[in-house]
Structure 1
Amino acid sequence: MEKLVPGKRPLVPRNILVETILKHKHELVFNNEIARATAAVWKVIEAGLDNKIKATSLHSMCVGNRYHLKSLLTDTATLDADQEYEVSLNECESSESNRNSMRNSLGNSFNFILSIKTSKFESLLTERVYARKTMKGKIGERRITIFQPSKWTEIVSKKIYDDYRLNHGYHFKNHYLTRQADYGVFKGLCKCGSTVICKAKENVENANYEGISGKKIAKDLQTESTVKWRHRVASEMMDKGISVEPPHLYNADVLRVAKHECIRMQYLDQDPIKAIAILKKSSVGQNVIRDIGYDPFHVTIASAHQIRVFNKMNRICETNLSIDATGGVAKKIVHVDGRVSKHIFLYNAESHDMASISKWLLGTIRCGMEFPRQVTIDESKALENACALIFSGDFNITKYANRCFNTGKTDFPKTYIRTDVAHYIKSWVNFFSKESKEKWKKKFYLCAIGQLILCRDRDSAKCLITALLTVSLSEKAGVGATSLNESLHTIKSLVLGNTCQEEEVEEIISKTIEDSEKDIEEATEEGEDEDEPQMSNLVANQWQQWGNDIRNEVERKLEYENGDDYNPRYFPAFAERLMKKMATIPLWSCICRDDFGYGRIPASSAPVEAEFNIIKNRILCKRILRVDVAVRTFLEYIDGKLKIFEAKSNPTNENINIEIKSTMESPRRPKKIDVSDDATPNFPVVSLNSTTAYEIAQKFNSSRSRDIFKDELSPISSTKNDTHCPSGSIEKENFSGSKCESYVPEESIRRRKPLHDLSSEMNQEFVCEYCEKKSNNEQVCVICKRIMCSECTVSQTEEEGEMKLCLECFQNSRKDDRLATQKIDNWKGKGGSPKISKKSRYLNKNTAEFLDAMSFKKYCKLPCLKNGTISSLRLIKIGNSEVSLTNTCAFDSITQILMAAMSDNDNIKKFMNIHRYQNNFFDLVYDTVEHGISQKTYKRRAEIICHLFGEEIKDNTTHEINCTTSASSLAAKIFKTHPSFIEIRQCEDGCYRKIEYATYGWHARLLKENLQTFIETIATKEKRCKNNCETYQSVSLEMGDIVLFEVYGQEDKIPIDSISNSFINKSNETYHLMGVIHYVGPKMLTRTPIPGHYIAYCKRGTCWMVYDDLKEKAERSSQNLKVYPEILVYCKI
């Protein structure tokens, strides 16, 4: 009788299902393998079962050996299906082929052995203690040996699956072991009804086994997602073609729980505040975490090591303390009342008001930190007031600014407080984005603000402020606006670099302000409202008064001026904001830099921004940690970094070698100097000039000069404190007072030229005597071809015939130039050109962008025609036929130039409007500029091209027209009715001849000459009459509104700026260059000719725009543009 399993009654009885499938046994089995799920036989079986079970389900049942179907189909079923499985914990290692054959040979019930190492088996054992009452009523203990929960079941399931691929997920509940653990029985159940009875016997063999523990899985999940882990483990466990997932492969929910539990184990306490308190008392946070606050949350960090390194640097050079904050590091905390905290920034503070910042800065000062020479901050009012209070002793930033205004008084501040230029420029960018939509106006004022930041004295700043106020407050321009014109000239001369700047910008601001800065501004708004208004009413700002005096003077001048045109730069909102910013001008500009005597130009907090980048992207890997974990990670990072920095900056006093060290990295290892009489002078040495090594070492260690800190003076000492007298005797030198001093004979000095870049002044203009004599062991520098000795060269390769560089070329040449001399390319990240930071837009002498801003005319954007070859264009329907165009670049280039000319030139627009009805091409240009590109535009282009190429289109057909042609021949057809030149010849005998030129030839060698001379030569030349007259013809030249020159004889590309921009005809009419059609030849030559490509370069204002019909939109060309011109287009203005 069949054993019934409780549950829902099956749709098809088991015996009927098995019989139906076995009827198709020969169709289902091929080479002892089950047919695929896509085979047609499964559909036949599904129909035979009245479609109660799908074909895919039938295939899964057979592959999974449900009801032992796979065993029956492959003739491996030998025993009853109801017989239970018997398994022993022993294993015999076998190959994959033996494993598969064993699996196929197993029936419904079988025995197999799994073995495990004795040490690992014993590690699975544990004891469970039960309390029980004895016969006398006493409470005793009962110890039972068991397997560790969940650990042994995982190992058994994995071994069963790995060795025999049984797709059963057994759940082992109860088990029994003897006291010696040499025997035991436990039973496993599967949802399908199969059971397994395991008997633990004495271990017989030791086999290698790599089990998976929960801790190891959780550790792996720290660096990868749960889905990725499951895919990786499945690829290792499963074979190809298996359609059933391994039963012991953890699902995603279980893995997420394990990952969460592993993360929780890293916490010192479940409460983050308590965890930080525990960290404070530990060896890591002791004397490092100074203060902890809960509401508002803050953690003050200041290690003694950090303060010691800062104080040491502060005594040596002008230190710059950069203060900034960033979010995205620590998670928010939940307060007692359930309120979620605000964003927590580095340094782990929730509130950024003046009180909190002052408390933090004062705490670091009390810990022993010296006052810095310079502090760079952002524009937060709370931070400005806190820095003024702590570092300068002023109540607010207004009083600090007043002390900076009075430069001659004794109470001038000792700490230079400055505003980061990136934050300041960003605030202006946000202002212009809200107040003005004109991009050219934004560029104009931002370039001027950039120059105001660089001003280093009040006179130049006053001149520029006066000019900016005049431009922004003047409503009228043109004739009569004298002050406005002078101000524009002043701003233009400053931005374009006509005035000399004493020091250029050293480092371009290339780091953008992060999105978290918005959170910082929100956090500081409360501090600004609380602190600044009350303080500003008490003290008048002298810089603000100075700015108001300048504005009043400007307004008085503008009252008596009245221009005849509208001023497009009229911007009173800019003047109002500039006046508000005048209160803090000593912070955001360099106007007080020379008064302090030090400071970067301009001020920048880029170092702290770089630290944020390292912490967030490299250390934290863009993760947001709990606050205690974030604090601990930050402490480890800052401690390691300080140790590395101190090791690099500290010289050792015990063993200082005599060496010559360049400010750049020396290509060779430093050598000790042998100063004995018989020493051969084969290396450069330095004369000590009666200075003992002890004195130089003492000077090196105790000096506070910045040059010594930068290793511009080499530390000199003797290794064993031995010195050599001129007589050759050696004495022990007593540093307290020795009569014998270090001495180097003058004849041992080798003077050689490559050392002129070294830092020591004594080595300037040294010349190597062996290089002068040109010894036999000579080498040739591969860059400068100078003959040098072996000591004056640097090896580039480590093989025979190695290439050499002299020291001068090694120090002065770029890295990629040196790599180019190597025989074997080194592509380990060193072969590329060095990274160059992006140029700043508003601080540099940016000529092109500022000239565009000065030219206030707004150029409308023009669409870019698409080439007919582009697949996104559909077939064009003309009548009942469809037309496809290819290689339309010549036509599109001419069209784009004329569109730009019409858009920028009113005369050409008028010309197009008059002749558009006689010339379909002009009508196409006019309509495209006025209404944009549409389907009608491409249809009219196809009609014009068909007419120009003489194509006849039949009805109900599809045509493909190849538009490959030269731009000059196509222009001749387009401008046939409107020629560029009309040449009229007339002789003395009355012969008259009129010649029209659609394009006029211009040889390439005349391009660099003056076009005006060329035009005059054409207009005044005389030719002999061709009507059998012996007289000469007088030639007069008339020009159309659009003049096209065809350039021929061109071999190489030329700079586009070398082409003449304009010329004047005999009627004193001016023609300007509007565009150039550039030809790009095929990249390779083949037997089948490949057509080239035409690109239109249109001059719009002061820049060149590139219109390529293979690209989606126009692009702005780079500087120093070179072209291969075929047609030059000039238009009358």
Structure 2
Amino acid sequence: MADKGSDITPKHVHTIINNNRAGFRDLIMEIFGIREREISISVNDANYSVEKCTDQSTVKLTSLTSMKVNLVISQEKWESIKPHKKLYGNRVYWKLREGWADVVAEALWVQHHLDCVFTFKNHNVYRTLISKFFLTIEGYCCECHAKIWCTLIKEPPKGVDVILQCSIDGIRPESHSGKKRRQLRGARRLKVADYLIDGCKDAVTWRRKEAGRIKKFGGKNPPILPSNEVVRKAKEQRLLNKYGLKFGNPALNLLNSAEHGKLVGSIQSVGVYRFNCMYWLPEQLQIYISRCRNDPNATLAIDATGGIAKRDKSEKPHIFLYQCVLVTKDGSVPTFQMVSADQRSIIVAGFLSHILAANAPIPPIVVTDFGWSLLIAVARIFGQCASLNDYLQKCYDAIRNEATSLPPTFMRLDVCHLASMITRWPCLKGKDKSLVRRFYKRCIGKACQISNLEDLYYFLESVLVVALSKFIGSGPDGELLPSVDRLRFLNNKIKGLETVYDDDEATVQSDQEGGDNTDEAPDSNPEQNLVNEGMHKPGWKSWCNTLYESAVEIADQSSKGDLINACYSSDFAKRLKTQLLPYVPLWTAIMVPIFGRGSLTATSAAVESEFADLKNREFRGEIPMRIDRFVIQHLERIDDKIKERCKTTDFLLQSQDKLSTALDNADLNKSIGAQSIQAEEPLSSIEIDNTSFDVTGYNVCSTPNISISSILSRIPSPELKVENIIPIAHSSKIIKDAEHETTQFSRIEQNLSDNDWNVCEDWRGLNKNLKRKNETDESMVKKRTRPTCLDNCPEWDFIKHSKTAHAPVLLNGNITGSVRLNNQNLNVTSTCAFDSIFQVVLSGLLANTVYSERLKSSDCPIVNLAQSVNDKKKILREHYVQRAKILTCISIFQDKVTAYTRNIVRLDVECNAAHLAQYLFEKEPSYTSSVECSCGYSNQQKSIFINVNVDTILCRGLHLMQQAIEDCITMERSCFNCKRKIRCVYKYGSHLVVDTTVFSDPGYPNRNNIVVPRLDSIKKIIEVGGMTYMLAAVVHYNLDQKHYATYGLTGEFWFKYDGLIKKRASANLNTIITPHLIVYAICSEC
């Protein structure tokens, strides 16, 4: 060609032949004898014609496959991709709309199931009349490099499907790996991402739904179905673009948002090196200022939580969210937030300093948990003290009437966290120590509510005496040991009984403490005085040492006795002395009368509720996420939340001069839609390694502004050494071992000797450079009103030995199937009446040790069944067989066995529970009455049910059960022979069964004034015949479902046992019931 002067190159020749231009390829195949074999096949259900071509003449092309297929594009999809006009300079041309390649690729897979991963290079639209084609599409496979050529001869009319003629050459199936996927890009990527974001879906859910649409059972993975990772990335990038996050560094994105856009004035500070970000809305600050000044008892709850942010690497520190929630008479509202990867107290103090720098008043009450860095920061910033020890010393001086001034804020500790922390002490862990743990947990709960120092001294001394005494009962001389009196005193306190005690010991202790160190000369070195201040000046350390020594002296008198003390735990006494006693102003109520504000107990339930709402409602299924996106979304959702919770009174104080000045200084008079706060210096700053303190000032309600830097400069560098460090713990999870706790104590103590600004919070051990363990999501359990260790417990003597283990549930015969009995398959149905009575007995065995001991020698079949289940802690197949055996032996069911199938017989045991109880408790009656007359007449009767005055419990309430029983007890009876009055003797059994079917009897005459029965309205303790009985369970009848269930009382908590549900469920105290049987179990004998 070149010799003839042609400019055609070999590549151009290859293109002409390969694309069969002007028929050159057909002509060459005809000349060289290359033949095509046409095969017509049916594809899917559309019956489209397909031509499969195989080259046979050339050895090189034997493994290649060519196909000619028709591709149908529906009219709806064609409307979305049909050609539109485009302008490039002076040139006008037509192109398909964005997303056309995804439509073609999806049609190739859905209609023909081709494994090729096609990438389309180009397409052309020809609208001239002389054009051979209207549309041409060219592409290739990324794996086997097969080429595809699609054509559309004429422009299709409106309202019809479009058929593309496709020719695919060079398919190599062996080159397909099955792993490569078509890229998710363009309009389809945006569509998928928007679907996931708007529908709050995850990548796995979308991919499963897409696979169900385009994939057949047992087929190959479609090349158009992207992986979960790609879908997640598409969603993440869409969200980042939505929130304007341009940089890979979250700190830079937050800094950009703080200086530009609608979040100006909301992000207060951003730290880069050790990441932290402090943020709150101006409206949050305004609500905080207004409510703090309106309510003198305003409480600021501060806590931290993790699990909100992703970590790029396992070595990266965990990021925690610090949340402040203000609780007032108007409700709770979130006020200030900080996310930080640095848990040191200096960072937390910087957070609190920024709050005061915005002219926010110091909160009257602050509630935290036992987090060391939180306590130090609050004591220094809000308490204006040199250290936490300084705050404690001021509290001690105030109680001793030696204080010149009180700290401006009242520091409290969360009582729930305190109780949880105590139960995690190694000396109280384990199933074998459940009774001791329950006892000491209630003791600490009672100590939290004591507001008098002398009362607290005697109470804690009693706790230490009981913990350090090895014996209780009588000593060698026959006299009661001191530990008996102290144990009786603690039990009475738990039951809510007032006890008068001799306070001479407390008076002696106060006199001794007042005279401590009076003869010692002051140290001549001022610096040494500061270091040794805690050792020379009377304080909480000397107070707890005196208390412990006094308890040890009393406990030594109980070293020998006739009864071993089950509550003996010297380790608990030592931990109580070192970890709680030095901090009694924080966790007890002794400072409430001094400060004149606050309640007896403090709780941070408001901030815990905020965390639960955050993780289980606001960000459910979305966290952990990128921290910059979390901050921006958190601010948006806080905006909605405070709009819901704000009140008119939150904005009425703007007319006051002082508040107006504060708001002007903080620039809070801008709308939330366009927040553009302008000040002399920007509110957002980048902090390197620590938090800057270049703040302008703060005010404490009515005090003048004082420079924070001047306060910090007055804090002495050598800190008071704290020898007894409180444990660091945040959640209710069990600490892994005691070694971690010991290491934590020594590490913090060493840090405190230098500078407590460096004390770092080790939230659940996550502050270390360790990979975080995966935690399973637990579904939210509906909260219910339930007793706590802070409440009085009149039944303490009877429930302190109850077992709280999960009781198994005997399933209904309708769902258990048949059992093998007497060489035949027996299917027992409608067993709810029997199952409910069985659960009554089992609940009584678990909750009452006296009842369990009384029934050990019983030969009652249902009692033996419950004892077998209690011993094995689960229900086996043999127990269902034993249930069927018991029911077949009852006379009322012997004639009800019917043939069900050829091999199975059925027994329907549906009946009234009260009627069935007469047969099941035949050998365990409620009482036995006997009479004997001088005339020779004698009679003995067994009664399954105890007689009660039905009108009393029906019309006046179940809380009068004691009176209803006493009304029906007759001490005399007429002789059957001589008609004389003779004395009737009653012998009461192990349990008392009360028939209350009258509550569901519509024909009973006195139903007009019926009192609605509830679980909490039932009398729990009754006394009959010199014996005490405790409520065990209630058989409830559901009138709508005609079904029985049991409400069992285990300790202080109600549980529902339903044979149609495999596990027991917690029951609310206010649950309305229809009782058919109420059972009391014996708990003490005369």
- Cα 1:340–1:68, aligned 2, differ >3 Å: closer, same or farther? same
- Say if 1:323 and 1:605, in contact at 8 Å, map to a contact too: yes
Whole-angstrom distance in 2 between the partners of 1:188 and 1:173: 8
Helix, strand or coil for the counterpart of 2:84? helix
Q: Which range moves more in the overlay, 868-877 or 1110-1119? A: 1110-1119
Aligned pair partner of 1:845 in 769, 781, 791: 791
- Identify the residue that residue 1017 of structure 1 maps to in structure 2: 971
Helix, strand or coil for the counterpart of 1:454? coil
Post-superposition Cα deviations, 1:422-477, rounded to whole Å, max 9, x if no partner, equal 43333224337953534343333333323322333323433432332233333322
Whole-angstrom distance in 1 between the partners of 2:108 and 2:787: 65
Helix, strand or coil for the counterpart of 1:66? strand
Aligned pair partner of 2:1076 in 1118, 1121, 1124: 1124
- Identify the residue that residue 319 of structure 2 maps to in structure 1: 343
Among the aligned pairs, what percent are the same residue? Answer: 19
Helix, strand or coil for the counterpart of 2:393? helix
Whole-angstrom distance in 1 between the partners of 2:96 and 2:595: 73
Q: Which range moves more in the overlay, 296-305 or 468-477? A: 296-305
Matched pairs, number:
803
- Identify the residue that residue 815 of structure 2 maps to in structure 1: 871
Q: CA RMSD in A?
A: 6.3
- Per the TM alignment, residue 997 of structure 1 is displaced from its structure 2 partner at its CA by 4.7
- Say if 1:1097 and 1:1105, in contact at 8 Å, map to a contact too: yes
- Say if 1:1077 and 1:1094, in contact at 8 Å, map to a contact too: no
- Cα 1:281–1:564, aligned 2, differ >3 Å: closer, same or farther? same
- Say if 1:876 and 1:942, in contact at 8 Å, map to a contact too: no
Residue identity in the other structure for 1:875? V
Aligned pair partner of 1:376 in 340, 361, 367: 367
Aligned pair partner of 1:543 in 534, 540, 545: 540
Aligned pair partner of 1:458 in 453, 457, 472: 453
- Identify the residue that residue 49 of structure 2 maps to in structure 1: 65
- Identify the residue that residue 385 of structure 1 maps to in structure 2: 376
- Identify the residue that residue 715 of structure 1 maps to in structure 2: none
- Per the TM alignment, residue 406 of structure 1 is displaced from its structure 2 partner at its CA by 0.9
Aligned pair partner of 2:410 in 403, 406, 416: 416
1:267 aligns with 2:210: no
Whole-angstrom distance in 2 between the partners of 1:272 and 1:430: 37
- Say if 2:828 and 2:908, in contact at 8 Å, map to a contact too: yes
1:857 aligns with 2:848: no
- Say if 1:866 and 1:1109, in contact at 8 Å, map to a contact too: yes
Post-superposition Cα deviations, 1:249-271, rounded to whole Å, max 9, x if no partner, equal 98878756654553554323233
Aligned pair partner of 1:299 in 253, 277, 283: 277
Whole-angstrom distance in 2 between the partners of 1:947 and 1:1062: 35
- Cα 1:144–1:247, aligned 2, differ >3 Å: closer, same or farther? farther
- Identify the residue that residue 187 of structure 1 maps to in structure 2: 136
- Per the TM alignment, residue 602 of structure 1 is displaced from its structure 2 partner at its CA by 3.2
Aligned pair partner of 2:150 in 184, 192, 196: 196
Helix, strand or coil for the counterpart of 2:815? coil
- Say if 2:948 and 2:968, in contact at 8 Å, map to a contact too: no
The alignment's TM-score, normalised by the length of structure 2, stands at 0.58
Whole-angstrom distance in 2 between the partners of 1:1005 and 1:642: 53
Residue identity in the other structure for 1:1023? F
- Identify the residue that residue 324 of structure 1 maps to in structure 2: 303
Post-superposition Cα deviations, 1:148-187, rounded to whole Å, max 9, x if no partner, equal 798374498599999x999999865345689999999763
Whole-angstrom distance in 2 between the partners of 1:152 and 1:1103: 61
Whole-angstrom distance in 1 between the partners of 2:149 and 2:915: 90
Post-superposition Cα deviations, 1:235-257, rounded to whole Å, max 9, x if no partner, equal 9x99999x999998988787566
Whole-angstrom distance in 1 between the partners of 2:1021 and 2:267: 71
Whole-angstrom distance in 2 between the partners of 1:841 and 1:1102: 7
1:173 aligns with 2:133: no
- Say if 2:50 and 2:67, in contact at 8 Å, map to a contact too: no
Helix, strand or coil for the counterpart of 2:816? coil
Whole-angstrom distance in 1 between the partners of 2:633 and 2:1066: 47
Whole-angstrom distance in 2 between the partners of 1:342 and 1:1076: 48
- Say if 2:842 and 2:870, in contact at 8 Å, map to a contact too: yes
1:447 aligns with 2:442: yes
Whole-angstrom distance in 1 between the partners of 2:27 and 2:276: 64
Aligned pair partner of 1:151 in 79, 98, 110: 98
1:121 aligns with 2:84: yes
- Per the TM alignment, residue 399 of structure 1 is displaced from its structure 2 partner at its CA by 1.5
- Identify the residue that residue 593 of structure 2 maps to in structure 1: 594
The alignment's TM-score, normalised by the length of structure 1, stands at 0.56
- Say if 2:991 and 2:1029, in contact at 8 Å, map to a contact too: no
Post-superposition Cα deviations, 1:878-933, rounded to whole Å, max 9, x if no partner, equal 2x3344444556666676667777885779967864x85xx878876776666676
For structure 1, the residue ranges without an aligned partner over 5 or more in a row are 7-12, 22-57, 70-80, 100-112, 128-142, 501-532, 655-696, 705-834, 1026-1030, 1085-1091
- Cα 1:884–1:456, aligned 2, differ >3 Å: closer, same or farther? same
Aligned pair partner of 1:406 in 391, 397, 403: 397
Helix, strand or coil for the counterpart of 1:325? strand
Residue identity in the other structure for 1:596? F
- Per the TM alignment, residue 321 of structure 1 is displaced from its structure 2 partner at its CA by 4.0
Whole-angstrom distance in 2 between the partners of 1:417 and 1:484: 34
- Per the TM alignment, residue 353 of structure 1 is displaced from its structure 2 partner at its CA by 1.1
Residue identity in the other structure for 1:329? I
- Cα 1:149–1:395, aligned 2, differ >3 Å: closer, same or farther? farther
Whole-angstrom distance in 2 between the partners of 1:637 and 1:977: 65
- Cα 1:895–1:182, aligned 2, differ >3 Å: closer, same or farther? same
Post-superposition Cα deviations, 1:477-516, rounded to whole Å, max 9, x if no partner, equal 235556445444544554455569xxxxxxxxxxxxxxxx
- Cα 1:554–1:1093, aligned 2, differ >3 Å: closer, same or farther? same
- Per the TM alignment, residue 381 of structure 1 is displaced from its structure 2 partner at its CA by 1.4
- Say if 1:145 and 1:181, in contact at 8 Å, map to a contact too: no
Whole-angstrom distance in 2 between the partners of 1:232 and 1:999: 61
- Per the TM alignment, residue 350 of structure 1 is displaced from its structure 2 partner at its CA by 1.2
Q: Which range moves more in the overlay, 182-191 or 485-494? A: 182-191
Whole-angstrom distance in 2 between the partners of 1:370 and 1:455: 30
Residue identity in the other structure for 1:549? T
- Cα 1:5–1:1061, aligned 2, differ >3 Å: closer, same or farther? farther
Residue identity in the other structure for 1:845? D
Structure number with greater Rg is 1
Whole-angstrom distance in 1 between the partners of 2:1059 and 2:924: 26
Q: Which range moves more in the overlay, 544-553 or 900-909? A: 900-909
Aligned pair partner of 1:571 in 569, 572, 579: 569
Whole-angstrom distance in 1 between the partners of 2:612 and 2:585: 29
- Say if 1:1107 and 1:1113, in contact at 8 Å, map to a contact too: yes
For structure 2, the residue ranges without an aligned partner over 5 or more in a row are 1-22, 29-34, 54-65, 141-145, 163-185, 323-337, 500-529, 663-780, 953-960, 999-1003
- Per the TM alignment, residue 363 of structure 1 is displaced from its structure 2 partner at its CA by 4.8
- Cα 1:1072–1:370, aligned 2, differ >3 Å: closer, same or farther? closer
Residue identity in the other structure for 2:415? V
Post-superposition Cα deviations, 1:742-765, rounded to whole Å, max 9, x if no partner, equal xxxxxxxxxxxxxxxxxxxxxxxx
Post-superposition Cα deviations, 1:1003-1035, rounded to whole Å, max 9, x if no partner, equal 7559866757866535x522336xxxxx86978
Whole-angstrom distance in 1 between the partners of 2:815 and 2:70: 66
- Say if 1:981 and 1:996, in contact at 8 Å, map to a contact too: yes
Whole-angstrom distance in 2 between the partners of 1:976 and 1:553: 57
Post-superposition Cα deviations, 1:928-971, rounded to whole Å, max 9, x if no partner, equal 66667654454455445545539599999854444456677767
- Say if 1:330 and 1:345, in contact at 8 Å, map to a contact too: no
Helix, strand or coil for the counterpart of 1:576? helix
- Say if 1:476 and 1:567, in contact at 8 Å, map to a contact too: yes
Whole-angstrom distance in 1 between the partners of 2:785 and 2:619: 30
- Per the TM alignment, residue 352 of structure 1 is displaced from its structure 2 partner at its CA by 1.2
Post-superposition Cα deviations, 1:1011-1060, rounded to whole Å, max 9, x if no partner, equal 57866535x522336xxxxx869787685867988969954799795699
- Say if 2:996 and 2:1076, in contact at 8 Å, map to a contact too: no
Post-superposition Cα deviations, 1:55-76, rounded to whole Å, max 9, x if no partner, equal xxx664974532399xxxxxxx
